[in-house]
Structure 1
């Protein structure tokens, strides 16, 4: 429901995130004047540099302040330790069982705590933006041929934060494993979101096509995701065109023929990679944005969020 006043929590984080948020606020202030709304901004520090100084990723109570906001604006997280010259990770057990990128709470944590199940990444090339290929800039793709949306499942698969040791018969640690968890509830929820979006776009003149991208020929969990996609779209969205694609081949096709796509839906890891890959056709990661959408909350960020 539209309001006259919105409370926005800003999470500048590290590095370029601070600069990005500063410019984003200028845009929001201009929008406020144009559309007659007001924004109240609350800035919360955090990320890798904050962790180095305070031993935690952000101040106490930050989770609650994010939950109370109308929207969250994230810059970027990830800092280099000046002593070790390495990316800052949390220490095991502080607060996660295993070490995580310092800034995990702001990105993955918010997605999971606030139920931000849909990572929506528009792939749109604006006129005048050139592409850097092999060290030179030129107009490689036409703006009228780069205009689709990637919808990425945002809460499970390889991004749960869970992992465990691999041990041999004597109990020696010989490796590490991360589960790929795909559930019916999360998959049907993200497929419905993608199909509803394709239905809306069809009313605006787009093709009304949904492409499901997985590695279903090798990964059983992805085969399950693809199966649920095919069942749901056949039962509830007969007016839409459905197709499936394999992850590795799609990475080539989205470069060669971006105009072939309307709405693309994918499991978490696959969606992460193909949306970053798509940024090449937009002019680079700095031109690409994404929204983490849930039933009651939203967090918006450049796709180079970590």
Structure 2
């Protein structure tokens, strides 16, 4: 629960003297004035929904309903618009990220994404793969910092594949750089070596400004948690990692209250399994973060439980579960919607600064688990197996529970 409740204000409220123009203040809520002077003005936000492929539409539908109900309890109204992305967009428009989708996302206050990809499009050329649409969306929104919490909830301790004494109490956050590194570096492509053999090549490259801004995000996150940052790199081999370590160390001087350590990525991968409780906040580059955050997710027992937030220096953030599109169970009412529901809570906290509404959703998820409801990925003996829709209904019932009023405030 600490990871779910550890951030009482939006990340964009960074210290201005240390980080000029870093994120800026939260967007001013759009309000609708009421004639009844006794009622406070309701806050209104626009949210672009990108259901995507596979189980995406199912889990986004649940999260939308939870957002709406939680908002109604906290004086918040949402204006939703739904747009295609990924394989759904390919089938509809011939491209994985239509211009209209990106424009709608940029104009909204926040973006909630379901999942993209599937077997149907696996053989497409790279520029016509669903995943290309997601990379284009991240770049288009400028969301450079990906926050992925991994918390082992007491209700799901038996779902973890690790021994109870290893998994119990794990509460960490991976801060992943999202728009640089080897996924975007140039030159890249295919060629031929001096022996005439075909080769493929990519470039791992980072600038000082890219490293400094993600490092500051990590230190700010750690300040609201347990005050520890572990920077993960491969500085014994890679020049890009040597610069990474140098700059993270330099930025760390601005945060004397935060303890900084460094770890090579191969050791970090091992330590996440050996002793995950040693970690509080991990900051790392794009490719290492991609791998380590997925590894960390399995400490919790199911990737279907974990949300993420991707934030920019200004403009809307992108919020999404870290699980894939799961085409093998799509349309069968078997998906776990809780990661998307918790992503909606992160949307409220990091996108809008609506802490009470975010806590209401997180508390509702815990209450639903306490009442014994489980989807197939987290089901165990003695609990009630339900599908995606029923799990959503039970979360809504918990959101409406009177006992959440005091818990969320």
TM-score (norm 1): 0.85
Distance 1:141 1:302, change over 3 A: farther
Residue 149 of structure 1: which of 158, 163, 173 is its match?
A: 173
Would you say the 8 A contact 2:87–2:117 is kept in 1?
yes
Once residues 312 and 104 of structure 2 are traced to their aligned partners in structure 1, the CA distance between those partners, rounded to angstroms, is 17
CA-CA distance at 1:139 after TM superposition: 5.0
CA-CA distance at 1:161 after TM superposition: 6.9
Q: Residue in 1 aligned with 2:251?
A: 232
Classify the secondary structure of the residue corresponding to 1:245. strand
Would you say the 8 A contact 2:149–2:307 is kept in 1?
yes
Higher strand share: 1
Would you say the 8 A contact 2:48–2:82 is kept in 1?
yes
- Larger mean CA deviation between 175-184 and 253-262 belongs to 253-262
Classify the secondary structure of the residue corresponding to 2:155. coil
Distance 1:101 1:34, change over 3 A: same
Q: Residue in 2 aligned with 1:110?
A: 137
Unaligned runs of 5+ in 1: 92-97
TM-score (norm 2): 0.65
Q: Residue in 2 aligned with 1:193?
A: 217
Q: Residue in 2 aligned with 1:167?
A: 192
Classify the secondary structure of the residue corresponding to 2:119. coil
Q: Residue in 2 aligned with 1:5?
A: 44
Correspondences of 1:5-154 after superposition (within 5 Å): 5-81=44-120, 87-89=122-124, 91=125, 99=127, 101-105=129-133, 107-129=134-156, 130-131=158-159, 133=161, 141-143=166-168, 145-154=169-178
Unaligned runs of 5+ in 2: 1-25, 30-42, 326-409
Once residues 128 and 185 of structure 2 are traced to their aligned partners in structure 1, the CA distance between those partners, rounded to angstroms, is 8
Residue 289 of structure 2: which of 268, 271, 290 is its match?
A: 271
Query: How many pairs does the alignment contain?
Result: 283
Question: CA RMSD for the aligned pairs?
Answer: 2.2
CA-CA distance at 1:142 after TM superposition: 4.8
Distance 1:177 1:35, change over 3 A: same
Report Cα offsets for 1:107-153 as digits up to 9, x if no partner: 2112111111100111112221132539xxx856555x211111001
